[in-house]
Chains A and B, each alone.
Chain A
């Protein structure tokens, strides 16, 4: 995933920030325990958000410990729960396939860093894929569909977005209860659609220069590297619609102690991120390499 999902920690009360921190650290410990040390390095807010969505309404029991990010001071973290285990495995699978995608997409020289990352993560991926073969298969097949659409210069923004949305929705397939599974699938589908489209808007300048496929170019018949005001309005509407469909699904679910974090993310943060991307200020506000440090600063 791409770092577009950001719970607005500064706007949340301390209690909620601490709770987010415990699940963030909990996911990190779970990644390391289940998939090996290398898996820790894929940790980000998007995967933490996924872990929260998959969680029951209550926090799993807490433990306290040190880690590489905090070698001296012990920090509380959520210990493993089935939701954290599931989120950890699925995160590794998603990160792995994202790296493979980058290797295919970038040239020989630029793909070097992804090849190194791929080697680094290979063992973790094997363990995760063994634990969740269906999700691994679903991810691979959706990405193959996406690659086919990209190579034929698909003029629809929905068809390529659908592949990524379905891929993310499959993360809920392991849920046993049907009602919960349907709600989560709908939320994750539209989260995936939104992420794909926001990422496309974010990459628009870069893709115009490199002549890479970008769904917005054929859809809006773009001649320059930016959306004109009419296209921007239509595009913002479609982003909003997905967020609202996520919200209507969210309101039907029971998310217990996670409700404040989820609610703030869905009802405010996603709109803010979308706007920042469209305004071209997204990377200026939080440089990519620093994003994970927010959790340190705000807790």
Chain B
């Protein structure tokens, strides 16, 4: 395994608190929630595993080697951001076996098959729209995805799975991590002084890397 300190980006002389903070920052950055339905989700998952392993390794070394006490050693055995995906879109059950197959195809990344199956399915119900939206999202067709999710929610307003997908789109995929705070085209980044001060404030407070929960 690579040097666990290097993976967490801290020196070997870092205090336990510094190690923990570095770990939490990285865990927030690569959290599965930030890579929900993302074509690179598997890479983020690998990264998460690597960080968890590095953190546990350091805790083990410090716990036994230096005898740094049970409080520090135990406080960190990984944060519970496991390697798995936190929100599973595809947990929902389909009424029809065709739509169930579409879910499987999307899960395995076979978007062409998923699309073909949907094209042959005559009933354009809420789930059909939801799945169509999911395919568009994976392709990076974000506006189309938004519109299909809206249709799905209109047809079946009580469905939490569709609602969650639409909420995510309407937040423009805002994630827990950003080095500069909650920025957006309409949020910040203007030319006027007030906005620049706002940016400067966020940058200073974020120390460039702290990340903000939006």
Contact = CB atoms under 8 A, between A and B. Distances in A.
Interface residues of A, number: 43
Interface string A223-259: 0000000001110111111101101110110000000
A272 B142 CA distance: 21
Interface string B55-82: 0000000000000000000000000000
B170 interface: yes
B144 A275 contact: no
Contacts, number: 109
B191 A285 contact: yes
A244 B175 contact: yes
A268 B181 CA distance: 10
A248 B44 contact: yes
A249 B187 CA distance: 22
B188 interface: yes
A275 B140 contact: no
B141 A275 contact: no
Chain A contact residues: helix, strand, loop or mixed: helix
A59 to B, nearest CB: 21
A158 B184 contact: no
A263 B208 CA distance: 10
B39 interface: yes
Interface in B97-129: none
Interface of A: 156-159, 162, 165, 179, 182-183, 186, 189-190, 193, 219, 232-234, 236-242, 244-245, 247-249, 251-252, 263, 267-268, 271-272, 274-276, 278-279, 281, 285
8 contacts: A158-B142, A159-B141, A182-B39, A251-B177, A252-B40, A263-B179, A272-B190, A275-B189
